[in-house]
Homo-oligomer: A and B are copies of this chain.
Amino acid sequence: MHLKPIKMAVGHRPLCLQSFPVLFWTCSLLLLGCGCVPMQRDMAKEVASYTDVANQIIKLVLSGSAQKRSYERLSNFTDAIGNRVSGSHNLELAIAYMYNAMSQDGLDVHLEPVKVPHWVRGEEGAEMVLPRPKTLAMLGLGSSVGTPPEGIEAEVVVVSSFEDLKSRGANVSGRIVVFNQPFVSYGETVAYRAFGASEAAKLGAVAALIRSVTPVSINSPHTGVQDYQEGVRRIPAACITVEDAQLMARMAARGQRVVVRLNMGAKTLPDADSFNTVAEIRGWQHPEQVVVLSGHLDSWDVGQGAMDDGGGAIISWEALSVIKDLGLRPRRTLRAVLWTAEEQGGVGAQQYYQRHKANISNFDLVMESDLGTFAPVALQFTGSPAAQKVMQEVVQLLAPLNTTRLEPHGEGTDIGPWMQAGVPGASLHVEDDRYFWFHHSEGDTMSVQSPGAMDRCSALWAVVAYVVADLQDMLPR
């Protein structure tokens, strides 16, 4: 497919002047690392020359024709498709939807094939049988095996940590382990969801029920992927609610015998065909050099996947739209990649890396938004000190958004392989204090999104991507 002709932006520098800062910037690179004033001043000057174009981008998104468009696109998309777990028909629909939508938007779109895991939840349910009958809200965990058709009924042992589990020793055999770990942080506590089943199985447990990894619950189960350890028996694993984990913990602490019946029809089918969805504005000077903007298109099979990560996918598209709408075309290629099967461990992104890593020297910057598209507060960035200096100047262009903070450590499952190989990486820090309330649950819907916050994310995303892609030189490694 071909890029449509793009008109010049009113007020943008004419092409004939675009080579103006080359000399200064090249000299700067030669002086790199010495901290000399001329380098900093010249680089700063080059970046500052984008102030007008940054203001145009921000204005178009916050109060111009692109206002509320990110939210509209996200709601049109997620309302139409719903959730879209790896291997599902919904994910196929989602990829087709975005392929068409971005093509109709005038972008250069193509699909790159990926083999993805195909886990299906099936019918499932859990009930506390003793000391009194009670339905337990639950969600099986991704990659879990199912139970036998008749289910598993067993006495429960409630533990508060992996250490507590080990201290139970022989008492775990034949039991269902309930992990009632406190929520400390997602990064720390998610270990129980990821490894709880195998740790319990090592001691002979027949199933594992893990307290959902969230600081706030309205009896809400949260799913996610879990990892079986090689050589350890695979037992069914599901998450239950904070409330029910605490209930069974209190009962067990009283010496009551707690018995649970678990039924899970989960199974893993052969890997399915899927695609990373790629849309581009090709660079006018160095089309082989790329700035990647990304989010993942797949989600869990609950809620709408609006927050995780429809928002990240949409602002990556939207950033390209805005740049196109303004008639801008940077030196380098802007590439929006909507990853597939991120939730299964960045599967689509890993295959993308394998396919493109030979070209790694042309990857200027990889950006990912996968922590929500609430109001942005900063850009997170991983790169060399010299690259950080450039980015420190770039974020000053975000002054109209009041987000001129550059924080260390860009992050994202999908951009991880590139960053580990030395490519600078950026991610979006947003007001995410409620993110894990909804994460991987039925509560991840459009109701948590706001048009204004999404506009701010899109504007930030567009300014950063455009300016980095248009600077005279790639970011120093």
Contacts and interface: CB of A to CB of B under 8 A. Distances in A.
A199 to B, nearest CB: 25
A247 B217 contact: no
15 contacts: A79-B250, A79-B251, A81-B132, A82-B132, A216-B218, A217-B218, A217-B443, A218-B220, A218-B441, A218-B442, A219-B303, A243-B443, A246-B447, A247-B445, A250-B446
Nearest to A443: B218
Interface string A67-84: 000000001100111100
A28 B254 CA distance: 54
Contacts of A216: 218
B137 A218 contact: no
Interface in A289-320: 303-304
Interface residues of A, number: 32
Give 7 closest A-B pairs by Cβ, nearest first.
Answer: A218-B443, A219-B442, A218-B220, A243-B445, A243-B447, A218-B218, A219-B443
A218 B438 CA distance: 6
Interface of A: 75-76, 79-82, 131-132, 134, 137, 216-220, 242-243, 246-247, 250-251, 254, 303-304, 437-438, 441-443, 445-447
A446 B246 contact: yes
A396 to B, nearest CB: 37
A79 B246 CA distance: 10
Contacts of A81: 132
Contacts of A82: 132, 134
B250 A218 contact: no
A92 B366 CA distance: 63
Contacts of A76: 254
Given A79-B251, A82-B134, 13 more contacts: A75-B250, A76-B254, A82-B132, A137-B442, A216-B218, A217-B443, A218-B218, A218-B442, A219-B441, A243-B303, A243-B445, A246-B445, A246-B446
A299 to B, nearest CB: 14
A443 B220 CA distance: 8
Contacts of A254: 76
B80 A132 contact: yes
Contacts of A134: 82
Contacts of A438: 218
A247 B442 contact: no
Nearest to A442: B219
A449 to B, nearest CB: 11
A447 B217 contact: yes
A37 B246 CA distance: 55
Contacts of A443: 217-220, 243
Contacts of A250: 75, 79, 446
Contacts of A80: 131-132
Contacts of A446: 243, 246-247, 250
A451 to B, nearest CB: 12
A170 to B, nearest CB: 28
Nearest to A81: B132
A372 B405 CA distance: 42
